Amino acid sequence: MRLLLAGLLGLMLVAGEADALPMFARQTGQNCVACHAGGQFPELTPYGRLFKMTGYTIGERTLPLSVMGVASYAKVRDTTKTDDPTVDFQKNNSGMFATGSLFLAGKVTDNIGAFIQVTYDNYAGQSVGPDGGLGKFQSHSQADNMDIRFADRFIDANRDLIVGLSVNNNPSVSDPWNSAAAWMQYVPNASPTSHQFVDGAFPGFGSGGNIAGANAYGYWNKTIYGELGLYGTANHAASFMSAGINNANRTALGGTNPYWRLAYTREWGAHNIMVGTSGMTAHVFDAGSDTSDLGNRGRFRNAGIDSQYQYLLDPHAVTAQVAYMRQTQDYSANTMAAAAPTYFLADGVTPVASPNPSDVINTFRAKLSYVYQAKYGGSIAFFNLTGTTNTLNQTSGFDSTGLITTADPNGTNITSTRVNGNLSGNPSTRGFNYEGFWTPVQYLRVGVQYTAYNKFNGASSNYDGFGRDAKDNNTIRFYIWAAY
């Protein structure tokens, strides 16, 4: 894979500017900036959104293949407050080839087009070493975003109606706006734990991805966009949408799981805005559980609002995004039956409160970005996740002697977790994300991101019970992101 990437990089440098483009660009013959705001993939311009809504069918059929790779380096501010830095901060302070994706995408017929991404993760897992410790990293490939469409457009002087069907595997991946949950985070992150604090909190759907959905959508007079979808488990005929994930790890959904999206859009001069709302109800079985037992089934209800404003006038591209998502999670009956308070208050005597059967999480994120000449760009984002406190989510706490321990000598208490631990049972996480990037050629982007936390897992200081503060998780990350 590394060799492949090196080869491709070489190829890209040799190929002339105008022909060295990923598949969609080859299909329309246009440069990335036509569809991507300021060239910053994957954020779409008004034209890029119409390209997507009309089913990726503009242009001509070409070789429908592209590859994308991300090389990454991250450094977490404090790597001392841990039991084992090799576990909590894998690959910290070292460069690596993080992920690679293969895209099969483009125009199929006048009405059908596809966007299929398979992602290779160089650090998907870590084997057990000969001494019982951690061994080598193991790579793995699996289905990533998929969106196969049928679309038609009825347009004349008096009306413009785009209608379509999308078969996809991730709620909101079919959405043309980049404040949608699936698209707001756009630099692919890496799996090693050195990268776990990159980016901060994002609004998302509780169901997660790699599920199978069929969505119908319509866009009327470039003003109102509506979409309705139904999702189920990506198995049987739809198992390609969860390819590379074994039965135990595949998200299992029960019942009907509706997704909806409504948006209002307007364009005036070089400005355009979208104000929208979306939501989903998903009945999700506990990971790896028996799906014939409804006691294993929990429920997520998501409802959100989001908005995106763009000012696009060469050489300037300004984007402002705001997204807010409320998620109510009802835990499965079996989860609740098994849940018993295992920690004590600091007195070592009083057990913590009983777990609640449901939780609410509110995630807010706002981002402002600017790109000059489709070359030099930067962004600043604020994220704030708040939610209910629940001892079910507590992963650190006091034992019966009033101490916080990682190993329990008596075997009566569950142990506490450092770094990822949560002493409060509250998920609150808040901070800023700053980014600067440079796109020397249109299919290559080099960037640096800094994420600063002032709250993590419910507290600013000592959130894990071992003295780790939110700011200890501040992370700087450098990346090289290329596509061909």
Task: State the residues that interact with another protein by CB under 8 A.
Answer: 18, 25, 28-31, 33-34, 46-47, 50-51, 54, 57-61, 107-112, 150, 152-157, 160, 235-237, 239, 267-270, 312-314
Q: Which residues of 431-465 are buried (b: 16+ CB within 10 A; e: fewer)?
A: bebebebebeebbbbebebebbbebbbbbeebbbb
| 270 vs 340 by CB, closer to another protein | 270
Q: How far is the CB of 450 from another protein (least distance, A)?
A: 32
Q: How many other C-beta atoms lie within 10 A of the C-beta of residue 409? A: 9
List Cβ neighbours of 430 (8 Å cut-off, separation of 6 or more).
Answer: 201, 383, 384, 385, 453, 454, 455
25 vs 74, which CB is nearer to another protein? 25
Rounded to a whole number of angstroms, the minimum distance from the CB of residue 279 to another protein is: 28
Listed residue (208, 210, 184) closest to 276, CA to CA: 184
39 neighbors 374 (Cβ within 8 angstroms): yes
Closer residue to another protein (CB): 45 or 449: 45
Beta carbon of residue 376, minimum distance to another protein (angstroms, whole number)? 16
Smallest gap from Cβ 109 to another protein, in A, equals 5
238 vs 352, beta carbon nearer another protein: 238
What is the nearest approach in angstroms of another protein to the Cβ of residue 130? 40
Beta bridge partners of 398: 344
Regarding beta strands 224-233 and 211-220, do their DSSP bridges make them parallel or antiparallel, or are they unpaired? antiparallel
Task: State which residue, 155 or 287, has the beta carbon closest to another protein.
Answer: 155
194 touches 90 (CB < 8 A): yes
Query: What are 300's strand-pairing partners?
Result: 282, 329
The smaller minimum CB distance to another protein, of residues 77 and 316, is found at: 316
Question: How many residues can be counted in the chain?
Answer: 484
One-letter amino acid for residue 249 of the chain: N
What is the closest distance, in whole angstroms, from the C-beta atom of residue 141 to another protein in the complex? Answer: 20
Task: Give least dist CB 167 to another protein, A.
Answer: 10
Closest CA to 116 of 147, 140, 142, 141: 147
User: Which CB sits closer to another protein, 94 or 109?
Assistant: 109
